[in-house]
Structure 1
């Protein structure tokens, strides 16, 4: 059933997000703010100023929406692969060709961008909101620009229109389309490599393959992820960049080529456990449903 892949993707995406969101918050802040001198410095400053809850800022919205995004990604991938090759994604005895896997993965990346662009924008802006929601005797939200996901979305829409909600979407597409193709290809190749012909991969094999797939995919996505995050933060206090290319050039001029590596370490740390859990839960759910 085509719908099964969407349901399994929905649940596995939510599980992966809960595990990876605190690390993702650190990654986003390292990419967009110059006040931090590394991963540990960012973690310590965030904890001291905002307590443990600071790492979970912006999670309430994506914990629901990422399930939809993951559902779209896995569901469109599986169905695209079935259409292209006539081979079911889960038919380990008759695996699809690597080219078909890559093309189906790139298609899944395109599909999810239309939904994730506004969601990711709101998440990034909430994650970069470093002030506490309450401050001593002052009213709630006095130190914050956005009160929450709905307020953030409404304010962006009122100030910048619908295009504001899709700020950075070109960079997001350039990040996701190739990296999602590489993501699924890495997973499939490693699963086949770690198992004998016609065997179904075990849980440990799926964990390792899923974790490696996430790390490889995010390593490839990191340069454009930096540009995407900066474009999404642009517009809060005036517009700094005229577009993707302008952001890339100015970032290079100010910080050198190493700017594209910002957040790479933390991205890799986050990617392995998140995607290991995502793939294993996805595979287990498919088996349970079918």
Structure 2
């Protein structure tokens, strides 16, 4: 009882890699819609990226999240699964007792808090790389500002160089720009991620089966992802804007200032930019993540049993 199970971390790593491969193109579209200018609606944004940057434009900044988000998800799934198991075992004397809402909520919130430690820098670098190719300039910029912005757009040669530039210019704290908004997004966001997945998966599992089928896992994971990412959009917009801030000057002083300026300049609808992309992207990403996670856990368990 209470022993950490490494299998959850390994399976989470594989699930994270699968989710990045499936979801990164739409993640690029989401970032451009939320922090870019002149893209209009989702369809127009996709067309502009394709026309200006070809298919490769949708995969900008993918190498870093592919390597790092796999580790990020390894930690998130490992922390969540082990925390949920630990809480459940200490709250219930009956070890066969089904997981209740309190267990799932506490484990999800802990996973959300821990996720920011790794996910903050990952998201920051990813968004910097995604945004530096943006060609539309803000209205009213002087020639010097436009020149500076163009220079910024061509500054980062890759993720390692991006990290080096941030550390040199802003120090270690610069790697956690937008962390406050990320906490406000991820702590409730993971509750609306793991809890629906758990209950939908149980509901889809037939009574005579001990474990859910691959289809049940895929469907439950996809639905949970769409719900979680859709509801997280307002704070996701704030986080993205804070992390993309500084293209040519520092615009926002913090979360509250970003919300205030965004609302005053663009109205309430600005906080729902990328909502459609988030919801659509959330389904295949999370479906791939949970399916890979559960299948990996099953394979690891089978291997252990065969080795014994």
Same fold (TM over 0.5): yes
Q: Determine the structure 1 residue equivalent to 2:140.
A: none
1:257-268 mapped onto 2 (5 Å cutoff) = 257-268=268-279
Residue 166 (structure 1) aligned to one of 176, 189, 195: 176
Offset, 1:145: 2.0
Q: Determine the structure 1 residue equivalent to 2:197.
A: 187
Count of residue pairs brought into register by the alignment? 278
Q: Structure 1 residues 142, 85: CA separation in 2 closer, same or farther (over 3 Å shift)? A: closer
Report the Cα distance in structure 2 between the residues aligned to 1:266 and 1:2, rounded to whole angstroms.
35
Q: Conserved in 1, the CA contact under 8 Å of 2:30 and 2:274? A: yes
Q: Conserved in 2, the CA contact under 8 Å of 1:121 and 1:166? A: yes
What is the Cα-based RMSD across aligned positions, in Å?
A: 1.8
Residue 155 (structure 1) aligned to one of 162, 165, 176: 165
Q: Determine the structure 2 residue equivalent to 1:50.
A: 53
Q: Conserved in 2, the CA contact under 8 Å of 1:30 and 1:36? A: yes
Report the Cα distance in structure 2 between the residues aligned to 1:111 and 1:13, rounded to whole angstroms.
16
Offset, 1:164: 1.1
Report the Cα distance in structure 1 between the residues aligned to 2:17 and 2:118, rounded to whole angstroms.
16
Report the Cα distance in structure 2 between the residues aligned to 1:251 and 1:266, rounded to whole angstroms.
20
1:133-282 mapped onto 2 (5 Å cutoff) = 144-197=154-207, 199=209, 200-282=211-293
Q: Determine the structure 1 residue equivalent to 2:5.
A: 2
Select the structure of larger CA radius of gyration: 2
Report the Cα distance in structure 2 between the residues aligned to 1:143 and 1:256, rounded to whole angstroms.
28
Using the size of structure 2 for normalisation, the TM-score is 0.87
**Structure 1 residues not aligned, in runs of 5+:** 88-92, 133-140
**Structure 2 residues not aligned, in runs of 5+:** 91-95, 136-150, 302-308
